[in-house]
Structure 1
Amino acid sequence: MTYKNKILVIRFSAMGDVAMTAPVLKEFIREYPDTELLVVSRSLFKPFFNDIPNLSFHALEPKGKHKGFLGLIKLFRELKKEKVTAVADLHNNLRSKIVSCFFSLAGVKTATLDKGRKEKAALTCKENKLLKPLKSTVNRYADVFKELGFPFVLKNTLEKPVPAQLQKETFSFVPVPKTKKWIGVSPFAQHQQKVYPLPKMETVLLSLAEAGHQLFIFGGSEAEEHIAAQWEKKHDNILSVVKKVKLDDELKLISNLDVMLSMDSSGMHLASLKNIPVVSVWGATHPYAGFLGYGQSINDAAQIDLYCRPCSIYGNVPCYRGDFACMNNLSESVVINSVLKKLGND
């Protein structure tokens, strides 16, 4: 099929940010079914886009053939063969700007994400903090397409989940048939200031497991695998998924959950991809910065009000108070009751 337009979509990393693009692209295609999308990102993230029509994927190899400036030239030459009619830079970093610049010089219309750095600086400053909701990241993504001449209004709502079939060969560790409420738990994050203290999280897990719910722990690193394995030993209703399945299969399992409990991290956005409601836990960061999961509600955000919050957009700044009160003072009962309330509402 020949499409009227073909838009190159650039979003290299990180996992959560890439995942947030997928619902936006899905809505875009519904609005513009005569347009084709070409997404360039790391090969690991391809499963995020598998169910989006009119979309093809080009794998980025940042440590291989696309490394450095010469690698970006090679990437541009590969993408130029695709005959794209516009470029949507949803990343706005040095590498994406270079690729966009190449296309602009070649006469292709380009538009770049406005990250709202000035507003975010006002939101996180120590003095005269301007605490107000900023434009969501998904709406900032939509604005890029608007600049290219493709305006559309995001619904930003979860659809009815469609549970994927879990193949016995891959999910031998999963108790089937499903007889309990399934709770996913994504307790880790790239930056420590976004992680609910692990002893407190263990209390939450054991309480939910004792209540008769089945818990699945998600993560990625070897350290996280070790922690999840220790929790798994403490109750029959706690199972670790870390390093047991690939990302596309992880998404299939997530599609069968009743709720996800997640930090301000990729777990929240993976659940959003599969239309699963999320109870999110916030410490140094804040939903006002615009990174709440697509379709998720701030009413399901577990957090406490402090004069110092948020002190960081990404959670990569150490607590200047030194007591990490935003997480240490967030009661386990608040998190537990938020999850139970969400299960009850469903």
Structure 2
Amino acid sequence: MTMRANKFLAAVLAIFLAAAAILPLPAAAQEAAVEVDYRDDITVNHPYYVEQLPGGNLLMTRVGHQSPAVVEVTPAGQEVWSYQGVQAAAARRLANGNTLIADSGAPGRPFVPRVIEVNPAGRVVWEYRLPSPARAPRYAQRLSGGNTLITLPYQIIEVTPDKRVVWSYGWGRPVPPGTPGHLANPVQAVRLPNGHTLIVDQGFTGGRVLELDAHKQVIWQVGDGTYNPPPVSQGVPGEAAGSGEGRGDRQVLPGPAGTAPAADAAPRPVRLKRPTGVLRLPNGNTLIADAGTSTLLEVAPDRRVVNSWSWKGALADLPVMNQWLAAPVDPFRVVVPLTLTSSRSRVLVIASLNDAAQ
């Protein structure tokens, strides 16, 4: 092979590696299969957030201009419980059997943003009201001590059972990116066992996931609120120019197959297009469901993507109009609520078939 040909191949290889360095690592689209396929012919509301309960039932929020509700259905579609008249952004089943509901109050009645706890008989046993639709809750988590962590449009608050705010993060209004406490469009905040808080900030032009310590300092972050990887021609292959805020969106680029990353390996930024759900694993890794790319990523504490797979293949034959709040179940399964172009709905529990990843 001539020296000119060698140089050409080296250039092609450099371009390929640079392109790979600015993208997530989705597996092939066909490496996913549908475990649960719930079909809903209702066209006046849509499943926005869905939790798969331990027994396999689906707890879902139906949001729309008519008959909004939180419902529990079996995988076969039988409705076994419901709470009507709430425009719920999220609902979680509590250990005591009650259901914690983040009721946005919009786009229809009752127009009252609040977080409520409802018992199996449908009685509200606790309620925290917000002052206006501009403060409509997106998500709520009941903490082990009895407090409730609530995700609001530009702020996260912790509320006691007697409705006192004892902790908060964020300004409660739009502030410029880079401002300490800036949140663009948070959709989920969860308190971790170590007392830290993990936040999914979906953003508007790209998202990020950040972890706060007890002093509200960002100690870990992936994504920077943008989804515009630079052209391959910019910068050193494997290095993303303008990677955004601080140090929080970089990970190590793996070496050739079968080898460990070099100590000076080029960093790889994690780009999140529309993150919608997060789960911290017992091993310290973090699962991120990115509905914008239909990808589930497992990210290590050092911000390396150690596994990722795409559920696009499971949607290939569906006329999808919207994917709502996709949520990880474990490293190999994700719950994806959908609205089709017919305005009918589907809720899919999708599993990875990538044996190599497992």
Query: How does the TM-score come out when normalised to structure 2?
Result: 0.23
Higher helix share: 1
Higher strand share: 2
